[in-house]
Amino acid sequence: MKLINWGIIGCGNVTEVKSGPGLYKSENSNLKGVFNRNIDKAISYVNRHGLEKVYKSVQEMLADDELDVIYIATPPNSHKEYAIATLKAGKIPYIEKPVALSLEESMEIKTLSETLQIPVYIAFYRRGLDKFIKIKELLDKGEIGSVRYVYVTQIMKVEESELNRTTLPWRVIPSISGGGKFLDMAVHVLDCLIWYFGEMESIEGIVENRGGYYEAEDTIVANYRFKNGIVGSGTWCYVADKEINEVHIVGEKGRIVYDGLSATSFYVEKNGETQQFEFEQPTHVAMPYQQAVVNELIGKVKSYANFQEAINLVEMTDSLLKQYYK
């Protein structure tokens, strides 16, 4: 059976445990090597993970005929450049979320992908986790009846790394990330909702900076509608007093309640009773999704990955945030 060979552009924290090892631990999958602008980091990564090769440039990586998929594990401001180059080299981009810095950039990737007939995958790895798959199964079989509405709460305390404006993490620098932590954290939750209910039709709300720690938005209150008519609301604040991550999917017969980020549990309230579902936290949380992508590429079974839905999410977040960045 075919072996899918991967290369990684960028070997930062996200690739250390969460998303790197799954590429060489999954069946029919091999991580051959990495490129990083800091070659010492790349050498260290290759040695620690037992890989074959350090690439001295992106061009060298893309010229390697053995590679099938390039994992673009860099901030969003370089996603388009690397994805376009990957497609032109005849290889498959697997891109960290979100797709790119804007809808315009995302559509450039999509257009070339369609022209060349090469698929693109976005690293929305919760689509591979048992907890989120089980929620989808319950919704699809009508466990809580017709869904009436959805609401999301995601509030967090400001992080220590965000207190000094001279050394801010890239996730809250809009020129690098496209916005604030909403585009880093909230998109995982919204992606699952799009997976469950289909594409969104619209989203609108209030986008503000309430904390003053950085220039990006830190607080959002919004309403949204899916194309199938389901409506929802959400509150996101990253400068609050404590951490709460909750999603309530409310139906005619009950509700499903879960932490939108955690992989471990959720519960169903129905007929006055509560049913708890528990799941193990994978050591490498992206690995089940990566295995599903590999299985799709070798022709075994289609994965839950959906590039068009990732594009729809960028369209919605662009629409919501444009008032703040106008």
| 170 shares a domain with 139 | yes
Full 3-state SS string of 225-263: EECCCCEEEEEEECCCCCCEEEEEEEECCEEEEECCCCC
96-141 pLDDT per residue, tens = 999 999 999 999 999 999 999 999 999 999 999 999 999 999 999 9
- Tell me what the mean pLDDT of segment 233-244 comes to: 98
For residues 275-288, one letter each, b for 16 or more C-beta atoms within 10 angstroms of the residue's C-beta and e for the rest, the string is eebebeebebbbbb
- For the chain, the first-to-last Cα distance in angstroms comes to 51
Domain presence at residue 200: yes
> How far, in Å, CA of 24 to CA of 249, rounded?
36
| 117 shares a domain with 84 | yes
Domain presence at residue 319: no
Domain presence at residue 314: no
How far does Cα 301 stand from its chain's mean position?
21
Q: In which residue are the tokens 């993490």 written?
A: 169
Contacts of 13 (CB under 8 A, 6+ apart): none
The domain boundary, picked from 63, 94, 123, lies at 123
pLDDT at 209: 98
- Tell me what the mean pLDDT of segment 58-65 comes to: 99
pLDDT at 326: 82
Domain presence at residue 300: no
Q: Measure the CA angle with vertex 109, ends 103 and 113; round to 5°.
A: 140
- CATH number for the domain spanning 174: value is 3.30.360.10
pTM: 0.96
- Tell me what the mean pLDDT of segment 64-89 comes to: 99
131-181 pLDDT per residue, tens = 999 999 999 999 999 999 999 999 999 999 999 999 999 999 999 999 999
Query: At residue 1, does pLDDT exceed 80?
Result: no
- CATH number for the domain spanning 92: value is 3.40.50.720
Q: Which domain holds residue 190?
A: 130-281
| 135 shares a domain with 103 | no
| 138 shares a domain with 113 | no
- Tell me what the mean pLDDT of segment 49-69 comes to: 98
Q: How many CA atoms lie within 13 A of 129 on its CB side?
A: 26
**Domain count of the chain?**
2
pLDDT at 257: 99
Domain presence at residue 25: yes
Mean residue pLDDT of the chain comes to 98
| 168 shares a domain with 76 | no
Q: CA 40 → CA 47, 54, 109, distances in Å?
A: 11, 10, 31
The domain boundary, picked from 68, 99, 123, lies at 123
- Tell me what the mean pLDDT of segment 296-323 comes to: 98
Q: Residue 4's pLDDT band (boundaries 50, 70, 90)?
A: very high
pLDDT at 216: 98
